[in-house]
Chain A
Amino acid sequence: MAELDEVIHQSTRLRIMAALNVLKKGEWVEFVRLKALIEASDGNLGAHLDTLARADYVEIDKQFVGKKPQTRIRATVHGRHAFKQHVTALRNLLEI
């Protein structure tokens, strides 16, 4: 039986995981683009990404493109599985 995930349940983190799950497996998305996808502020997105990274649901990669810093994010296999389980649990709730 799928169970609700306390980490993913929070609204911004739910939207982050929903957006990352649209990407192909292993595909990265830049921080600024993820911000556009979920319509969050820099600080808010950064804080919630840290929480997701601590749970090993997302991977964060910081690098320099030329002289410009660039942050990329992708969902881990574990994160994708957790999101899927969370969605199943939500659907199950509707059927009760």
Chain B
Amino acid sequence: MLNKQEAEAALNQIEQTQRRSIELIGYWRSGIYVQIWGVVWIVAYMGSYFLPEVSNIIWLICNGFGVTATAILSLRDRNNAQQEKRLAWAMVVVASFGLLVSYNLLAHRPGTLPVFWTCLIMSAYILAGLWAGTRWIVLGAAVIAISVATYFYFMPWFDLIMAFAGGGGLLLGGTWMARAK
């Protein structure tokens, strides 16, 4: 027969294991989405660097691919836990805000929009990290730091740096999350 202290210790052990499991399982399920967007960024930024005159079309196609792939995977995982649904909605809300600002509020100056969007989406990653684990926060903060530093100091190579450092960072970050231990 257990005493109260032993019962409390066992319940704490259950709670700790389940908290850790929710965090790691969340990383494993989400890693593939981050990897997809890493590939999208690599292709789109590389395309923008070499073919700047059709940059908008390249982004439209790449984003279309990213959204479609994300939607297909989300449908496959439609029984996701409530926690993951909350994260997805947080991203939808932030992206909607970004669209609004892009078309109405932000002055259109060269280079401003890519940085703005990068920071906005990565802020959503940081926001997600508040619920889902610190790896989201590390990933979001690192990409924001790269894009802002590039914007201020290496603007002529912005697309190229973002392809490798931004897209590559997401790809590595996605792998880091998918293999979280």
Contacts and interface: CB of A to CB of B under 8 A. Distances in A.
Nearest to B181: A36
Contact of A24 (B3, B7, B14, B79): B79
B106 interface: no
Interface centre among A18, A19, A33, A94 (most CB of B within 10 A): A18
Interface string A26-65: 0000000100111000000000000000000000000000
A23 B2 contact: no
A1 interface: no
Given A18-B14, A19-B18, A38-B17, A94 B4 contact: yes
Given A4-B2, A33-B28, A93-B2, A14 B13 contact: yes
Interface centre among A22, A33, A96 (most CB of B within 10 A): A22
Interface string B1-37: 0111001101101100110111011001000000000
Contacts of A22: 18, 21-22, 25
A87 interface: yes
A4 B17 CA distance: 19
Interface in A56-96: 87, 90-91, 93-94, 96
Contact of A36 (B10, B14, B22, B24): B24
Interface of B: 2-4, 7-8, 10-11, 13-14, 17-18, 20-22, 24-25, 28, 79, 81, 180-181
17 contacts: A11-B13, A14-B17, A15-B14, A15-B17, A18-B13, A18-B17, A18-B18, A19-B18, A19-B21, A22-B18, A33-B24, A36-B24, A38-B17, A90-B10, A90-B14, A91-B7, A93-B3
